């Protein structure tokens, strides 16, 4: 659902939530609940990179080589994969798991998405204590997502 310029359609605000945390912190569990309860599309940077490698494309070969060498894939490569998946989803609400990994990634994402999107992405950051039981964590998450239809936000969970 994109216009001829590769942008999101209409004047809708794009909601982007960055979901970050260490292995086993409950990111996947909470993302599943957010998708079910709030209609977000869950995009995993790692899954998109692995799919690109599996495709056998020139880009996939480059990604594979960088990973084998222990290097970080350039921000632009990951951002382009994320943006493509966002545009192809037909949604305007996204959970992005495993990205950004650093400040440069975040700034690059904002620059790329804001230049190519007809809608503005507004970022704010909220932290959720994921050490609590799953249901308690989701109560904190729900408080962040409750106003999603009127307030555009991007959060670190």
pLDDT at 125: 63
Which range marks the domain in which residue 52 is found?
15-145
- Domain for residue 154, yes or no? no
pLDDT at 47: 93
Is the dihedral angle over the CA atoms 103, 123, 81, 45 positive or is it negative?
A: positive
Give the total number of structural domains in the chain. Answer: 1
Name which residue leads in pLDDT, 62 or 111. Answer: 62
- Domain for residue 20, yes or no? yes
pLDDT at 23: 80
Over residues 63-107, the pLDDT tens digits come to 999 999 999 899 999 999 999 999 999 998 899 988 888 888 888
- Domain for residue 7, yes or no? no
- Domain for residue 10, yes or no? no
Percent of the chain exceeding pLDDT 90 equals 39
Domain with residue 106: its CATH number is 3.40.50.300
């Amino acid at each position: 659902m994109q216009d001829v310029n590769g942008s999101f359609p209409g004047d809708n605000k794009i909601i982007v939530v960055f979901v970050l945390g260490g292995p086993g912190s409950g990111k996947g569990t909470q993302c599943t609940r957010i998708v079910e309860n709030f209609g977000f599309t869950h995009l995993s940077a790692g899954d998109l990179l692995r799919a690109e490698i599996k495709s056998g494309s020139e880009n996939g070969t480059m990604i594979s080589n960088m990973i084998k060498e222990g290097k970080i894939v350039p921000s632009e490569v990951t951002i382009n994969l994320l943006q493509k998946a966002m545009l192809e989803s037909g949604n305007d609400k996204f959970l992005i798991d495993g990205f950004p990994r650093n400040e440069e990634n975040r700034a690059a994402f904002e620059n790329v998405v804001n230049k190519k999107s007809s809608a503005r992405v507004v970022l704010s950051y909220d932290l959720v204590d994921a050490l609590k039981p799953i249901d308690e964590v989701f109560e904190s998450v729900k408080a962040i997502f409750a106003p999603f239809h009127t307030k555009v936000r991007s959060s670190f969970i």
